[in-house]
Amino acid sequence: MKRILYFVATNVAVLALIAIVFRILGLDGVLQENNVDLNLTALLVLSAVVGFGGSFISLAMSKWMAKRMTGARVIEQPANGAEQWLVETVRRQAQIAHIEMPEVAIFPSPEVNAFATGARKNAALVAVSEGLLQNMNRDEIEAVLGHEISHVANGDMVTLTLIQGVVNTFVVFLSRVVGHFVDRVVFRNSEGYGPGYFLVTIVAQIVFGILASTIVMWFSRQREFRADEGGAYLAGREKMIAALEKVRRGGESEMPEQLAAFGIGGSKKQGFKRFFMSHPPLEERIAASRSSARCRSCAGGARTTRSSWARPASARRPSPKGWPR
């Protein structure tokens, strides 16, 4: 809840700042001189409602949509030893990460992949593909589960939704300011809205939306490094590296667009397309994990194991950033 309040407060502050800047720079006066009858404050509020409304609706429906789109089957009662191990591993990692037990599911796909989603960290869904269960050993699966549990514990789904809401707000706001200005100043339309407004607004929204998506994707890439660290923390660094290597050797894995940012892997892009990648290249993630291991070794720190959680709280290694203490 604090995360949501902080982001909402930040967005309100930014909206207020934009309104003040418009006043200081005299943009309101410029609009009035050109008969641009636009209430910027009302537009800012409306844009925030539209921007955040869509994001929060998507978040609220995320688990339902994920199950529908992937055909995931939630394990209500384990049918065999493999499913029992899967559920117990998720349960143990959830306890370590201080979150409630997520739903555990398996979805039909030959690709090596997994994802986590949910509106709240204490009501999440962790799902793995049949291909992952068939092609990975238990150490590697444990690391993948740790990666997904880390996403949940870090509140990544909520944070990504809030960031998307912020950028949506400004995309809606700026596109309509540009469209309104062009309609009144360029096309000299004094009453209502002409075709120019709708055309320019659509084009501006597409352009601003593309630019805004690079911000969202940048955050998405950063959270993958944090989730890899969380996976190493929960399962062991060598297991996490081995899992990433297995995913890399398996090639690109595609998931429904709405879930692409929450999978373990991701498609590889080159050049300008790299700005729109939800995941860093696996080679970079593997290198970062190995580099982190070397840094800990140089600093004289031992790799965290499950036994470290039995030590007194003062002697424990701190939880990854963002996790409850």
CA distance 152 to 147: 9
Q: What is the pLDDT of residue 274?
A: 78
**pLDDT range class, residue 194, cuts 50, 70, 90:** confident
Task: Report CA-CA distances (Å) from 200 to 28, 123, 177, 179.
Answer: 20, 42, 10, 5
Q: Provide the whole-model pTM.
A: 0.77
Identify the residue with better confidence: 230 or 2.
230
Give catalytic status of residue 111 as yes or no. Answer: no
Percent of the chain with pLDDT over 70: 72
- List of long-range contacts for 215-220, beta carbons under 8 Å, 24+ apart: 215/163, 215/167, 216/160, 216/163, 216/164, 216/167, 217/275, 217/276, 217/277, 217/278, 218/275, 219/159, 219/160, 219/163, 220/160, 220/261, 220/278, 220/279
Q: How confident is the model at residue 159 (pLDDT cuts 50, 70, 90)?
A: confident
Q: What number is the average pLDDT over the span 189-193?
A: 74
- Res. 162 pLDDT band, cuts 50 70 90: confident
pLDDT tens track for 225-260: 999 999 999 999 999 999 999 988 876 556 655 555
CA nearest to 82, candidates 90, 93, 72: 90
Task: Give the whole-angstrom CA distance, residue 194 versus residue 53.
Answer: 27
Give the H/E segment covering residue 26.
none
* Cβ 184 vs Cβ 34: under 8 Å: yes
**Catalytic-role residue among 103, 111, 140, 148:** 148
In this predicted model, what pLDDT tens digit does every residue of 9-44 receive, in sequence order?
A: 555 665 566 666 655 655 555 555 555 567 777 888
Whole-number Å distance between alpha carbons of 99 and 323: 9
Which domains are assigned to the chain? Answer: 2-61+157-220 (no CATH), 63-154+242-315 (3.30.2010.10)
Please report the sign of the dihedral spanned by the C-alpha atoms of residue 201, residue 202, residue 203, residue 207: positive
Residue in 134, 97, 72 with CA at minimum distance from that of residue 231: 97
Tracing tokens 């844009």 back to the chain, one arrives at 47
Q: Which residues contact 229 (CB under 8 A, 6 or more apart)?
A: 150, 289, 292, 320
Residue 149: strand, helix, or coil: helix
Q: Is the pLDDT of residue 8 over 90?
A: no
User: Residue 48 has what pLDDT?
Assistant: 85
Token duo for residue 186: 């360029």
